[in-house]
Amino acid sequence: MTYKDHPDDLKLANWLNARALELLDAAGAQKIWDLPVKEKESSVHLLGTCRMGREPATSVINPDHRTHDVKNLFLCDGSSLVTSGRGQPTLTIQALAYRAADRITALAKRGDLGA
Protein backbone atom coordinates (compact mmCIF):
# COMPACT_ATOMS: atom_id res chain seq x y z
CA MET A 1 0.00 0.00 0.00
CA THR A 2 1.28 3.45 -0.82
CA TYR A 3 0.19 6.94 0.11
CA LYS A 4 0.89 10.21 -1.65
CA ASP A 5 -0.33 13.64 -0.62
CA HIS A 6 -2.56 15.29 -3.19
CA PRO A 7 -1.34 18.74 -4.31
CA ASP A 8 -4.59 20.24 -2.96
CA ASP A 9 -3.83 18.76 0.49
CA LEU A 10 -0.41 20.41 0.49
CA LYS A 11 -1.89 23.70 -0.70
CA LEU A 12 -4.48 23.58 2.09
CA ALA A 13 -1.82 22.72 4.68
CA ASN A 14 0.26 25.71 3.58
CA TRP A 15 -2.79 27.98 3.74
CA LEU A 16 -3.69 26.71 7.24
CA ASN A 17 -0.08 27.16 8.35
CA ALA A 18 -0.11 30.77 7.15
CA ARG A 19 -3.35 31.47 9.05
CA ALA A 20 -1.89 29.90 12.20
CA LEU A 21 1.19 32.13 11.91
CA GLU A 22 -1.07 35.17 11.56
CA LEU A 23 -2.97 34.17 14.70
CA LEU A 24 0.22 33.63 16.66
CA ASP A 25 1.55 37.00 15.53
CA ALA A 26 -1.72 38.74 16.43
CA ALA A 27 -1.65 37.07 19.85
CA GLY A 28 1.86 38.40 20.46
CA ALA A 29 3.65 35.07 20.47
CA GLN A 30 7.26 35.45 21.60
CA LYS A 31 8.59 32.35 19.83
CA ILE A 32 7.20 30.74 16.70
CA TRP A 33 8.45 27.59 14.99
CA ASP A 34 7.48 27.55 11.34
CA LEU A 35 8.26 24.17 9.85
CA PRO A 36 7.84 23.77 6.09
CA VAL A 37 4.89 21.80 4.79
CA LYS A 38 6.11 18.83 2.80
CA GLU A 39 4.82 15.50 1.58
CA LYS A 40 4.56 12.77 4.17
CA GLU A 41 7.17 10.09 3.77
CA SER A 42 6.10 7.72 6.53
CA SER A 43 2.91 7.20 8.46
CA VAL A 44 -0.34 9.02 8.01
CA HIS A 45 -3.68 8.66 9.73
CA LEU A 46 -6.51 8.81 7.23
CA LEU A 47 -9.63 9.38 9.28
CA GLY A 48 -13.24 10.34 8.94
CA THR A 49 -14.23 9.12 5.51
CA CYS A 50 -17.05 6.81 6.72
CA ARG A 51 -19.24 8.47 9.34
CA MET A 52 -21.07 6.22 11.78
CA GLY A 53 -24.81 6.72 12.27
CA ARG A 54 -28.25 5.20 12.08
CA GLU A 55 -29.38 6.90 8.85
CA PRO A 56 -27.92 5.78 5.50
CA ALA A 57 -28.49 9.26 4.08
CA THR A 58 -26.04 10.80 6.55
CA SER A 59 -23.65 7.96 7.38
CA VAL A 60 -21.77 5.04 5.85
CA ILE A 61 -21.79 2.55 8.73
CA ASN A 62 -24.31 1.79 11.46
CA PRO A 63 -23.52 1.56 15.21
CA ASP A 64 -22.53 -2.10 14.70
CA HIS A 65 -19.78 -0.92 12.29
CA ARG A 66 -21.72 -2.55 9.42
CA THR A 67 -22.03 -0.64 6.18
CA HIS A 68 -25.55 0.40 5.23
CA ASP A 69 -25.11 -0.70 1.61
CA VAL A 70 -23.29 -4.05 1.93
CA LYS A 71 -24.82 -6.22 4.65
CA ASN A 72 -21.75 -8.16 5.80
CA LEU A 73 -19.09 -5.52 5.28
CA PHE A 74 -17.81 -4.19 8.59
CA LEU A 75 -15.36 -1.29 8.83
CA CYS A 76 -12.93 -1.69 11.70
CA ASP A 77 -10.55 1.20 11.20
CA GLY A 78 -10.26 4.94 11.69
CA SER A 79 -12.66 5.86 8.91
CA SER A 80 -15.58 6.19 11.34
CA LEU A 81 -13.49 8.52 13.51
CA VAL A 82 -14.68 11.78 11.96
CA THR A 83 -12.79 13.98 14.39
CA SER A 84 -9.49 13.40 16.09
CA GLY A 85 -7.99 14.97 19.13
CA ARG A 86 -4.37 15.85 19.54
CA GLY A 87 -2.01 12.95 19.36
CA GLN A 88 -2.08 9.49 17.92
CA PRO A 89 -5.51 7.92 17.20
CA THR A 90 -4.18 4.36 17.39
CA LEU A 91 -5.72 3.42 20.75
CA THR A 92 -9.11 4.82 19.73
CA ILE A 93 -8.94 2.86 16.46
CA GLN A 94 -8.06 -0.29 18.42
CA ALA A 95 -11.01 0.31 20.75
CA LEU A 96 -13.33 0.70 17.76
CA ALA A 97 -12.00 -2.56 16.29
CA TYR A 98 -12.58 -4.41 19.59
CA ARG A 99 -16.07 -2.90 19.75
CA ALA A 100 -16.75 -4.01 16.17
CA ALA A 101 -15.55 -7.54 17.02
CA ASP A 102 -17.97 -7.66 19.96
CA ARG A 103 -20.82 -6.45 17.75
CA ILE A 104 -20.00 -8.96 14.99
CA THR A 105 -19.87 -11.77 17.55
CA ALA A 106 -23.25 -10.76 18.95
CA LEU A 107 -24.77 -10.56 15.47
CA ALA A 108 -23.36 -14.01 14.62
CA LYS A 109 -24.79 -15.53 17.81
CA ARG A 110 -28.21 -14.07 16.91
CA GLY A 111 -27.93 -15.50 13.41
CA ASP A 112 -27.97 -12.04 11.88
CA LEU A 113 -25.01 -12.66 9.60
CA GLY A 114 -25.42 -14.26 6.22
CA ALA A 115 -26.15 -13.59 2.60
Apex 42 CA angle, 97 and 37, nearest 5 = 115
Q: 65 catalytic, yes or no?
A: no
Residues comprising the chain, all counted: 115
Which residue among the candidates 6, 45, 65, 68 is catalytic per the annotation? 45
Q: Which residues lie closer than 8 Å to 3 by C-beta, 6 or more apart?
A: 40, 44, 46
- Residues 43/55, Cβ–Cβ less than 8 Å: no
Task: Kindly list the catalytic residues.
Answer: 45
